[in-house]
Amino acid sequence: KAGVTQTPRYLIKTRGQQVTLSCSPISGHRSVSWYQQTPGQGLQFLFEYFSETQRNKGNFPGRFSGRQFSNSRSEMNVSTLELGDSALYLCASSFAGAKETQYFGPGTRLLVL
């Protein structure tokens, strides 16, 4: 069974731009969660989507948004990029959510200049 895939793997943007990251979960998984990983703050929960609905949200500004499609693929969007948004963005999928094993993708490394 294929694992979680994330595209692109690396991205360089400038301040003020917006970016869209994509995540394809493991086949059959309906829950997709997004996390931000930085050296200073560690791994932080952004939001979770389940059956195309945002079910939970972490403590991030409204510039961070996401959506999930009917095939469970998910996208995450960050608008008006700031230098502090430079991070590894990880997507995790599971059948039903954070109370089960979450399988992480390799992440998208975003650098904001």
Dihedral in degrees, nearest 10, Cα atoms 58, 109, 68, 45? -20
By three-state DSSP, how is residue 69 classified? coil
Distances (CA, A) of 15 to 20, 36, 43, 61, 66: 14, 18, 22, 16, 20
Residue type, 27: S
Nearer to another protein, 13 or 103 (CB): 103
Number of residues near another protein (by CB under 8 A): 28
Q: How far apart are CA 13 and CA 47, in angstroms?
A: 22
58 binds another protein (CB under 8 A): yes
Q: Which of 26, 35, 68, 72 binds another protein (CB under 8 A)?
A: 35
Nearer to another protein, 51 or 71 (CB): 51
73 binds another protein (CB under 8 A): no
70 binds another protein (CB under 8 A): no
Dihedral in degrees, nearest 10, Cα atoms 37, 31, 20, 16? -50
44 binds another protein (CB under 8 A): yes
Q: Which stretch binds another protein (CB under 8 A): 14-22, 62-70, 72-80, 90-98?
A: 90-98
In the complex, the residues that contact another protein under the rule CB under 8 A are 4, 31, 33, 35, 42-48, 50, 55-56, 58, 90, 92, 96-99, 101-107
